[in-house]
C-alpha cells in the first residue's frame, strides 16, 4: 500500500494552507481537513508540534521548528495515480527551511519526496538557485548522494 504523507523537512516552521489530491483514473477528488492535524485523529504527527493558523484570508497549520525531519502522516489513505496540489510556505532563511511532499511512504525513514528550499528561490547565486527543488528517495538516495552521483538530475530551479 502506498501512503501519501505531508512531510516537513525543515528547521524552520511550515505553514500549510491547503492540500488536495486528484485521482485521475477514478476521477475522484479528496481534500483532507488540515485543521484535523492538531487533533491527530486523521493525521499522525512525528517530530513536530502543530498549531492552527486562521486569518481573514485563509486557514492553515504551522509546524514548529526542529533540527530533525518531521512528518505528518495522513492515516488510512491509499493513493496510486493522480495529481497532488498543495500550498506550502517555508522561510527565506539560508539552510533553515525545507518543505515538501512525501510519497511511497513505508515508515518515518523510508520514502520518496519532492521538497523545496525557499531560501534558494531568489538568490543571486545561480548554483544555489539550481538547487531550489529536490527529489530524494530515503534512506538510500539522500540529497547529498544524488547531487554527488547525478549532478543536476534530481535538483532544479523554480
Residue 93 has pLDDT above 60, yes or no: yes
Looking up cell 496510486, which residue turns up? 80
Q: Residue 45, Cα to own-chain centre: how many angstroms?
A: 13
- pLDDT for the residue numbered 136: 95
CA distance 95 to 90: 11
Task: Name the average pLDDT for the chain.
Answer: 77
CA distance 88 to 50: 14
For the entire predicted model, the pTM comes to 0.73
What DSSP string runs through 51-79? Answer: EEEE-SS-EEEEEPP-SS-EEEEETT---
Over residues 25-76, the pLDDT tens digits come to: 555 677 777 777 777 677 888 888 888 877 766 677 888 888 888 888 877 7
Contact present, 73 and 46 (Cβ < 8 Å) = yes
Residue 118 has pLDDT above 50, yes or no: yes
C-alpha cell of residue 105: 511512504
Amino acid at each position: 500500500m502506498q501512503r501519501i504523507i505531508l512531510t516537513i523537512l525543515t528547521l524552520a516552521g511550515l505553514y500549510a494552507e491547503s492540500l488536495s489530491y486528484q485521482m485521475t483514473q477514478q476521477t475522484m477528488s479528496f481534500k483532507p481537513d488540515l485543521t484535523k492535524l492538531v487533533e491527530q485523529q486523521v493525521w499522525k504527527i512525528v517530530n513536530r508540534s502543530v498549531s492552527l493558523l486562521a486569518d481573514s484570508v485563509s486557514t492553515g497549520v504551522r509546524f514548529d521548528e526542529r533540527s530533525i525531519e518531521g512528518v505528518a502522516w495522513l492515516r488510512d489513505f491509499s493513493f496510486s495515480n493522480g495529481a497532488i496540489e498543495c500550498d506550502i510556505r517555508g522561510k527565506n532563511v539560508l539552510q533553515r527551511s525545507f518543505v515538501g511532499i512525501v510519497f511511497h511512504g513505508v515508515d518515518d525513514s523510508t520514502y520518496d519526496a519532492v521538497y523545496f528550499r525557499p531560501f534558494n528561490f531568489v538568490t543571486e547565486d545561480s548554483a544555489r538557485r539550481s538547487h531550489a527543488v529536490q527529489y530524494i528517495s530515503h534512506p538510500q538516495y539522500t540529497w547529498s548522494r544524488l547531487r554527488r552521483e547525478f549532478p543536476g538530475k534530481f535538483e532544479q530551479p523554480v
